[in-house]
Structure 1
């Protein structure tokens, strides 16, 4: 290949070919040692760097990429970036890093928030040639404070360096000047042609989402069908625009919407059409707005009467206003015509369908379903175990002695005020039982049904023990209630007066105070009836006789039941007769089926109780009893679960279940037919499977006790007793 001098022209004869006469063109590698490192090298090329700064045999023994590994000379400077806008140029700070190991250079700009410039690495790490040179590159000697270096056409001014760079250059014998102060960041030149245009960006950034809110009115009563328009004025500080909205009352009939003036620059005066091309008309500013000011909104005078708290604070801080007294709005006397239609008079009920269905068909031509009280349905519908159904035991009252023995359950549904009646059939009675009256609304007896308005019906206030209900010409007397109904009525005592213990005690208190020495004689007479061995407890029979004596017929059965439940006394834990009756009944069924698998049942219970808690859920116990073929039906099993002991989570104690079924060490007594009827016949028709005991109130009245001392303390009539 011919090597030519770049200063000579490229013509034949000016170059020489070094390959003429050469016969061997192979590469002859040689082994040599460079800086005590064995290397396989070719003929070393000519050096393209400056001569060494060290004398012969005084330089470092290791190569540069080992000696100067991770050593960087860092300089700080700037370069100018020109603009063809309001400013001529901008000075941008840079960091110039020179890597000693290979002579590469990297230029980066520190990042500044909201600068609007692409910052970071401006020139990636590389070797940079000197200007107007093909084979010379920047080296250590080219960098110093005060010098200017040119990288790819950009001139960088070096102002300072770090401490390592200063020490390194000083050791090389290079004098490093003091740091140069930073020049002005922006050099502005005064405009020579015209002043700069105002830019609204600053105002927008400072006052974005800041709105002055005024209230006012426009009186338009001078025109025909005119009225007072109540307005709301919004002044946007970000761009000095105004928006006006009208405050419309509900059902005003205005179809155009509340927009009175769209957001715009509101001029002080109406601009003339022929004055086009001239200066822009003056618009309203915040200084023109105040309470009592009148705005000219294209010929409509809008009076400002009040403003909000933010507007008051803005004028107080900006203009120094302290008084913000609102102005009264003018009174508008308008005679309105009532738009409410009179209640439509419906025709009398024809006997078909329900009252709601017939009334809805009379109101509209298209048949629609009757509207129900949805709010009441949401509050009184079944919610988990809270059924919102009041269950009462009842008897049929008539002259037929056979009907007097029949037993009924009356269910009152609180969600829609409907009543359902079910009959509990007894053995060999001739009555099958089941649904007696379907669920429907029951109206009071003696009302006229064929009237336009719906007649009154039974409500939940009519459901109390001792009351008589006439349901489809059948008279039912409520004789008992289940625990849920009594508990629900006691929790809502403000709605059910028969379960309000405060009102009942006031009634008894008034009866005792009305007679002379009534309270003293009452206490003296019945103090002897207190059980001596049972801690001031009185039997329910004796307490009921005392209540009848002082109240006569003023106390209902439900009120008496409420008193007994409230002042219930506990004479001690005794075995419930109901539990023994159940054990006798289950023993008869097990003996009849020849079941004797209690040991295997015990093993199954121990295996099911993995945690060893001694309790199991009722559903799991039911599965175990069915798996071990316990010969009792679901009703009797539910009755057995109701008398077994339970923990706080309603889990049944397995030991109590095994003791209940232990008929060898715990014998049972024979149950008579009368006891059987008392136990089995009072099962409500809940899914026709559950068995509940509806004689709890009778047992409480016959066998329970009343805390006589607590009853007298709540009466609180000791002050009426005259001392002897």
Structure 2
């Protein structure tokens, strides 16, 4: 098959008998099938006296489709030889033959083949080649070990010479880096110089750079010592012109804590980089690389130490702290930079306003001031607080903006200082906490649904809404008292409802916790527990409806939409059966046809809170009452300018104040799942132990 002349004998054994295999051409049967052998050949070297020849490793590829052979030598970095393809792909004749070529039978481990006058010794092959030859019935011996790369015949009369070129090939671009210092404080105006020492393994040279911080007052040169060999001992000047060669520093002389003499300057090595540590660990077996501290400068700052922080003058009260600081740092001040990443994540996105709203009372000895209601808004995007007052009719207080949106600083701090004093953060916003803002003391009495849900969602950041931490506090308190848990359960066992033994009123639940916890629990923790173990979750539907209604009213007033009569006609026209209900898709199409200025997400939320029948069709009369401009939304959960936008709406009778008053007393209504609370406490084993 691989022979040119048809009359020659086929020397390749067949895998199958005659007429048992398809008679296909070789270039189809053996396409991309290549046998790979590993071999070497000797190359004579006349330039070196210490060796006669070198061994070069090659790969021999035999292409089964056409019987061609290619010889290639893998490339080695800095070998000094012309490597790569030694013999291009071609058919190679057998030595002393003009009509026969090398084929599969001539290549095997242990054989020597001659290609164009070079003798190659085959020592190994890959797995595919071994399996292929075995299937042909050819036995493949075990691999042969590689001989030594260089056979040396050293001269016994002289010691081996130092080979700088061999050292360069082995250690090129390998540098040991040390950190050290030179103590020059004994001289006048001397100081401690921090140095960086580089040792080049390729030629045993050393260069030293000095580390100077900016604005140090020292003139920085390019190098402390240029690259050269540093002698261990400085010889006399007479011996510099001749005599024996002076020994220089080697890697064995360098280590952490070593002192090298750099032409009269004692340089102490204090640390090294990871590559240097690995080199000494492998070469010398060192394992201890403890850095040395820098010497004390006797009360004076080291030149290479970090520069002291710049002290700005105290704040004069004009502008903000950041703005005043920029005016002090440069002649052309720049606008202060905010925390852009925090603004990007905590700015309003859809329905996530990232604004925590709390109801507050003014703590004052005056009974009139004690009855005033406030809304405190905390903006998470920039940690600012805005305070608004909800004025009651005939109270003497107009209401509206009480304090403009700004950072609110903690009480009893010094304001006229260089650094900005600490301010209130979102960790201070929880029900029951007291905030002192501009000498006014506010007590947070309630929070809206969004603030409570936000704190509960991020409970890992807010411990007042973290149920596992609260339960652990209660658990430790009951376990510390003798018969505490047993008496606690027995005392309030009869407080549950007679028809539903698992429910307990919120008022009794709060009283039970206050008796055992006293002042250890805050009001916000009570609210978190009641919301978590709520026994009547249906009460939470109404606040959500009012919140969505408030958002819808805001969008309608911004879009100047007030066409309820025409919308009602359109709904009646769409209701062909006059059943008073429409499907969600029909209602959505009708609202789009009348161009309500609300986005799709808000419209879908609005449709979910409307009244529905048994077939989930929406009662459009409930939609008309939902969009009634004569009744203002209960929740005030929009932006600060909401009061300005809806001035055309008729006034209401203290709806906002009533909402916050209801929120203040919300924790006293409803029921709590008592059994779920006791089950999560998991203190039944205390009853058995105490019994």
Structure-2-length-normalised TM-score: 0.55
Q: Provide the secondary structure at the position in 2 that maps to 1:560.
A: helix
CA contact (8 A) 1:424 1:683 kept: no
Q: Distance in 2 between matches of 1:448 and 1:180?
A: 94
Partner of 2:571: 595
Partner of 1:160: 96
Is 1:684 matched with 2:649?
no
Structure-to-structure mapping, 1:233-632, within 5 angstroms: 233-246=197-210, 254-256=218-220, 259-267=223-231, 282=246, 284=248, 286=250, 289=253, 295-302=260-267, 331-332=295-296, 334-336=298-300, 340=308, 346=314, 349=317, 352-354=318-320, 357=323, 361=327, 369-370=335-336, 387-393=353-359, 409-421=375-387, 437-442=403-408, 458-466=424-432, 478-490=444-456, 496=462, 498-501=464-467, 523-524=489-490, 526-544=492-510, 546=512, 557-570=523-536, 593=569, 595-598=571-574, 624-629=589-594
The 1:633/1:550 distance shift into structure 2, 3 A limit, reads farther
CA contact (8 A) 1:425 1:681 kept: no
Q: Provide the secondary structure at the position in 1 that maps to 2:636.
A: coil
The 1:214/1:575 distance shift into structure 2, 3 A limit, reads closer
Deviations 1:411-461 (A, max 9, x none): 111343322245779999999997665422345789998899877755434
Q: Distance in 1 between matches of 2:417 and 2:279?
A: 67
Is 1:223 matched with 2:190?
no
The 1:232/1:164 distance shift into structure 2, 3 A limit, reads same
CA contact (8 A) 2:375 2:389 kept: yes
The 1:258/1:246 distance shift into structure 2, 3 A limit, reads farther
Partner of 1:116: 82
CA contact (8 A) 2:315 2:324 kept: no
Deviation at 1:595, TM superposition (A): 2.6
Q: Distance in 1 between matches of 2:117 and 2:409?
A: 102
Q: Provide the secondary structure at the position in 1 that maps to 2:619.
A: coil
The 1:394/1:682 distance shift into structure 2, 3 A limit, reads farther
Is 1:205 matched with 2:169?
yes
Deviations 1:450-483 (A, max 9, x none): 8998777554344333556676788866443223
CA contact (8 A) 1:409 1:424 kept: yes
Deviation at 1:360, TM superposition (A): 5.7
Is 1:710 matched with 2:676?
yes
CA contact (8 A) 1:601 1:625 kept: no
Q: Provide the secondary structure at the position in 2 that maps to 1:439.
A: strand
Deviation at 1:537, TM superposition (A): 0.8
Partner of 2:150: none
Greater Rg by CA: 1
Q: Provide the secondary structure at the position in 1 that maps to 2:96.
A: strand
CA contact (8 A) 1:531 1:537 kept: yes
Larger RCO (CA under 8 A, 6+ residues apart): 2
Deviation at 1:485, TM superposition (A): 1.5
Q: Provide the secondary structure at the position in 2 that maps to 1:680.
A: coil
The 1:501/1:294 distance shift into structure 2, 3 A limit, reads closer
Q: Provide the secondary structure at the position in 2 that maps to 1:709.
A: helix
Deviation at 1:336, TM superposition (A): 1.8
Q: Distance in 1 between matches of 2:102 and 2:463?
A: 99
Q: Distance in 1 between matches of 2:416 and 2:386?
A: 23
Q: Distance in 2 between matches of 1:461 and 1:214?
A: 47
Q: Distance in 2 between matches of 1:525 and 1:716?
A: 18
Deviations 1:28-87 (A, max 9, x none): xxxxxxxxxxxxxxxxxxxxxxxxxxxxxxxxxxxxx9999xx9xxxxxxxxx9999889
Q: Distance in 1 between matches of 2:447 and 2:220?
A: 62
Q: Provide the secondary structure at the position in 2 that maps to 1:531.
A: coil
The 1:326/1:723 distance shift into structure 2, 3 A limit, reads closer
Q: Provide the secondary structure at the position in 2 that maps to 1:569.
A: coil
CA contact (8 A) 1:465 1:481 kept: yes
Partner of 2:110: none
The 1:685/1:309 distance shift into structure 2, 3 A limit, reads closer
Partner of 1:4: none
Extract unaligned runs of 5+ from structure 1. Answer: 1-64, 72-80, 91-107, 126-143, 146-158, 168-177, 186-196, 607-613, 646-651
The 1:628/1:393 distance shift into structure 2, 3 A limit, reads farther
Q: Distance in 1 between matches of 2:382 and 2:675?
A: 42
Q: Distance in 1 between matches of 2:592 and 2:687?
A: 67
**How many aligned residue pairs are there?**
563
Extract unaligned runs of 5+ from structure 2. Answer: 11-42, 54-68, 76-80, 104-113, 122-160, 554-563, 647-654
Deviations 1:170-209 (A, max 9, x none): xxxxxxxx99986899xxxxxxxxxxx9985443222223
Deviation at 1:162, TM superposition (A): 6.9
Structure-to-structure mapping, 1:657-676, within 5 angstroms: 659=616, 661-662=618-619
The 1:284/1:599 distance shift into structure 2, 3 A limit, reads farther
Deviation at 1:567, TM superposition (A): 1.9
Structure-1-length-normalised TM-score: 0.53
